Structure 1
């Protein structure tokens, strides 16, 4: 059975209204993307305001891609995030430095599992997340093929939506799930009904008596 404590992260949040709605719908965490290359990039000011409006019980995760240490720490502080999600080719010492300030979600791609999985398992302050080679692209991973290699206690992202998240949970039993593109009306703008359906699908997968 999947862990009943599985957490739900709604990523790519760009407005206070979308943040508040996701929190009210039952999201455990919100992702705010600060990577300059992202079409879902948000300012630290908006992320901070969103965090103030959802309250401390919802984790606020700053998402970064191959950005400098000082930039990450400066932006994370300005946005008042409670955790940091790191994408890209990053040296271990960098990730550990960030983990000295914030809990870290270290994102791996399927190809990284054989090289980095054992490096990070059990490292204090670092939790692994498996994502697609193109984060935010909406393409699901091959969960059956990945099952023998999926790290214990890791999160799962990559093409998850209301219609397939229960299947992904059954296949890999992640500690948390993360969705972006499949919850949008258009890039950067959430579809409230999709957000609600995604959260409900996760809850039902853990507890069939959850109201539908």
Structure 2
């Protein structure tokens, strides 16, 4: 089964349309203030409206309070919320009452978080590298023994390695950013299309 495909770090309407037309299933919009791919709610909203409802719009958050997460997600027309960082189960549970949640975890949290959210259709796990957006892949071979079905994979994915990652782990979804850019926040159209094509052929 072909995994769902998300291109993260969208910062413009132009790149949102580019990724959607290339075949991405989801676009990520980063609202974490520390990110070099930070997007404004206005631009995220315009980009969301430009791609229509068939493409998921994922708001990415780190270190923000519950009210801010929900306010930004609504203002920018997000359809999914992606949560990074140390958060209480109650925080995740509350967000999940309003939006489907991609809960990003580290490798050493995978088993615990997998057990915590097993059977909850509102919360999907995503495993990312220690430095999200840094372009460094995880050790996929070592993850095979603990990989829960239905989990998404991120971290250093690009056209040149995505088929190997999918073959080893069979993730439910894949998420890429740094290897699909000309510079942080600016997409490379050729890399985006090559990534999409590689995923679809896997």
TM-score class normalised by the smaller sequence = over 0.9
Superposed CA deviations along residues 154-189 of structure 1, whole A, max 9, x for unmatched, are 110000000000000000000110001010001111
Matching residue of 1:210: none
Q: Name the counterpart of 2:167.
A: 170
The alignment status of 1:79 with 2:91, answered yes or no, reads no
1:15 aligns with 2:9: no
Aligned length: 202
Deviating above 4 A after TM superposition, structure 1's stretches of 4 or more consecutive aligned residues are none
In the alignment, which of 24, 36, 55 is matched to residue 58 of structure 1? 55
Do the aligned partners of 1:85 and 1:107 also contact (CA within 8 Å) in 2? yes
Name the SS for the 1:185 alignment partner. strand
RMSD: 0.8
Give me the whole-angstrom Cα distance separating, in 1, the residues matched to 2:114 and 2:18.
34
Does structure 2 conserve the Cα–Cα contact (< 8 Å) formed by 1:9 and 1:30? yes
Give the deviation of 1:113 after TM superposition.
1.6
Deviation at 1:66, TM superposition (A): 2.1
Unpaired segments of 5 or more residues in structure 2?
Answer: none
Q: Aligned pair 1:29/2:10, yes or no?
A: no
Correspondence 1:43-122 to 2 at 5 A: 43-122=40-119
**Aligned to 2:113, what secondary structure does the other structure show?**
helix
What TM-score do the two structures reach when normalised by structure 2? Answer: 0.98
Q: Secondary structure at the match of 1:80?
A: coil
Consecutive unaligned residues in structure 1, runs of 5 or more: 206-212
Write the distance in 2 (CA, Å) between the matches of 1:167 and 1:139.
Answer: 15
